A and B are shown apart, each in its own frame.
Chain A
Amino acid sequence: MIINFIPAMGNNAEDMDMQLWAYIDKQCSDAEAQLITTLIATDKDWATQYKQLLSFNNELSSTEPEQPSMRFSKNVMDSITATKIAPATKTYVNPWVLRGIAGVFGLLLVTVFIYILSGLNWNTAPGASSFHLDYSKMETGSWWIPFALVNIVLLIIFIDAVLRRRRTAHK
């Protein structure tokens, strides 16, 4: 980390600013912070720039928020008088629905896997194909298209639900 960090320093003003902002925001590692402390103490350019950015940072930190109108709070409270709190999302999403969809796909995958295994030719003789599927058993009609489409849609719904739950859990 520190090896990548050092050459960037002092190459140009933007690099220097970036390292100094990371230092001010306490977003750099201990080793990087120590190195920048040394540079500020020994290098005039670094010291000047640090002083300037720190002053800028302090000015920004002291900026006060804007004031809404005096009636703001009352307006909000008036608006929510007739509003009902909606029930939590997790109370009306049945986890068994998600588990059911997952089960269907699991079963489908296992079935396909077993079918493929049953079609394998275990003869290891040279030139023999190790994989053989009897396509003649399969119908050539288009019966499977709607079935596949429904499965794809269900798969997308399931992945979406899982990702949403994970994201919520992370938050």
Chain B
Amino acid sequence: MQEAIQDADIIQRVLKGEQQAFSILVDRYQHFVFTIVLRMVNNREEAEELAQDTFVKAYRFLADFNNNSKFSTWLYSIANNTCLSFLRKKQGITISAEEGQISLLAERTGMAEKAPSRSEERSQKALMALAIQKLPAQDAELITLFYMAEQSLDEIGTITGTDTNHVKVKLFRARQKLKTIIEKYYSNELSHL
């Protein structure tokens, strides 16, 4: 029944001092925030820390949230900015998100680098997740926002600070890259695609 409570109502309760109500929002969005962050930094420990930072920032600046956009869109914007700041600090150089260079900065290590073993039994969904992790960070984030977090192209534009048409083109390119990755690494397991 908790899911039925609207985000806006929960936010009002939190703003009125009911701090514990914020846990409903954390439970509702933690998987999506964690996945978005993980796609960008590709390290579970760092992703967990950054996802927590995202929620703490959202709590601190909750009074600034206006209901002109969905709470999830606002929350994912914070996650996106938190990751970009982290990647910039980590690399110690100034970059522009517009230049599409984030992909070069994120560590594409960990699970993504593990080639699928034929002897291992993997579900189709797990294989798709592995293929997504092989994408450049920005493309993986875009796919995650569109398909898992169910954000529209306009909302993704708001989150990433880019134009909707630009998002549309980038999503198309991301899917093309993903298809290539699947053909290269997972053609046997995902032959129906």
Count class of interface residues, chain A:
35 or more
Distance in angstroms from A161 CB to nearest chain B CB is 16
Distance in angstroms from B163 CB to nearest chain A CB is 13
- C-beta contact mask, B135-176 vs A, less than 8 Å → 1, else 0? 000000001100110000100001000000000100110011
Q: Tell me, yes or no, whether B121 is within 8 Å of chain A by CB.
A: no
Which stretch, B21-29, B81-89, B98-106, B112-120, touches the partner chain A? B21-29
B20, B60, B63, B193: which contacts A59 (Cβ < 8 A)?
B193
Residues of B within 8 A of A66 (CB): 31, 34-35, 38, 129
Residues of B that sit less than 8 Å from A by CB: 14-15, 19-20, 22-23, 26-27, 30-32, 34-35, 38, 47-48, 51-52, 55-56, 59-64, 66, 68-69, 124-125, 128-129, 132, 143-144, 147-148, 153, 158, 168, 171-172, 175-176, 178-179, 190, 192-193
Q: How far is the CA of A87 from the CA of B65 in the complex (A)?
A: 11
A63, A68, A79, A83: which contacts B30 (Cβ < 8 A)?
A68
Q: Is the interface of A mostly helix, strand, loop or mixed?
A: helix
Q: Given A55-B192, A63-B128, A77-B22, are A85 and B147 also a contact pair (CB < 8 Å)?
A: no
- C-beta contact mask, A66-98 vs B, less than 8 Å → 1, else 0? 111100110111011101111111000000000
Please name 18 pairs of A and B residues whose Cβ atoms are closer than 8 Å in the assembled complex, sorted by A: A14-B176, A52-B193, A55-B193, A56-B179, A56-B193, A59-B190, A64-B129, A65-B148, A66-B31, A66-B38, A67-B31, A68-B30, A68-B51, A72-B34, A76-B30, A80-B19, A85-B60, A89-B64
